[in-house]
Amino acid sequence: MKFAHINAVVFDLDGTLVDSRLDFDAICDDIGWPRGTPLLEHMAALGPCEETYRAEAIIRQHELAGAEAATWMPGAEACLQQLHARGYPLAILTRNMREATQLVLQRLNIPISLVLTREDCAAKPDPEGLHLIAQQMAIPSSAILYVGDYLFDLQVASNAGAMSCLYLNDSNQHFVEQADHVIAHFTELSAVFA
């Protein structure tokens, strides 16, 4: 089996396990930055200043609204239950803030306790988060499958020496060639570990 060496599965949150309807173009519009601006990286480059604080407040509003609106992606909940039943350690690594992440976990009763947010480690695609998760699970990073929907998710897996799985949507097909594995529905991931 392709994933015979995989001992744990780590997930992105928004756009992967849940649909929080976050509109990054709208966030950029509200802040007054060009659409497509990488938000966390741009704030880091600006450093602590009035514009950064204003951007943080706007992003927080959007993330909390997204957390209130979040719903499970089709098949994601059943997939987590199956992986848990088969004894796979699970974790979440997200660029979201802890406050919004905890709200989503509680609202949807997501059964994952090991969760790292942007307050806990350097933001993806920096591999720090996956290395920390591997340490806590006492496994090598190469034994992790990271599942996400965006380029940063594929890059963080590559940077950490883990395997990547791209969860397809209407706007990310151009990342397919950079992924180790691709799924269009969570039943496909469940089947791989069946």
Could you identify the residue written with the tokens 């997200």? 94
Q: Mapping DSSP to helix (H, G, I), strand (E, B) and coil, where does residue 67 land?
A: helix
The pLDDT assigned to 78 comes to 96
Rg (the chain; Cα; Å): 16
Query: What DSSP character marks residue 6?
Result: -
Q: Mapping DSSP to helix (H, G, I), strand (E, B) and coil, where does residue 7 land?
A: coil
Residues of the chain with pLDDT below 50 are: 1
The pLDDT assigned to 194 comes to 75
> Which DSSP string corresponds to 133-186?
HHHHHTS-GGGEEEEESSHHHHHHHHHHT-EEEEE--TT-GGGGGG-SEEESSH
The pLDDT assigned to 3 comes to 74
Cβ contact 64:102 at 8 Å: no
User: CA-CA distance, 89 to 96, in Å (whole number)?
Assistant: 21
Could you state, in order of their start, the residue ranges of all structural domains in the chain? 8-20+71-192, 24-69
Query: What DSSP character marks residue 14?
Result: B
Could you identify the residue written with the tokens 């098949």? 75
CATH top-level class for 8-20+71-192?
Answer: alpha beta
The pLDDT assigned to 2 comes to 66
For 18-48, how does the pLDDT look when each residue is reduced to its tens digit (9 = 90+)?
A: 999 888 999 999 999 999 999 999 999 999 9
The pLDDT assigned to 5 comes to 87
Q: Exposed/middle/buried for 18, CB within 10 Å: 0-12, 13-18, 19+?
A: buried
First to last CA, the chain: 11
List, edge to edge, every strand of the sheet that includes 8-11: 114-116, 90-93, 8-11, 144-148, 163-167, 181-183
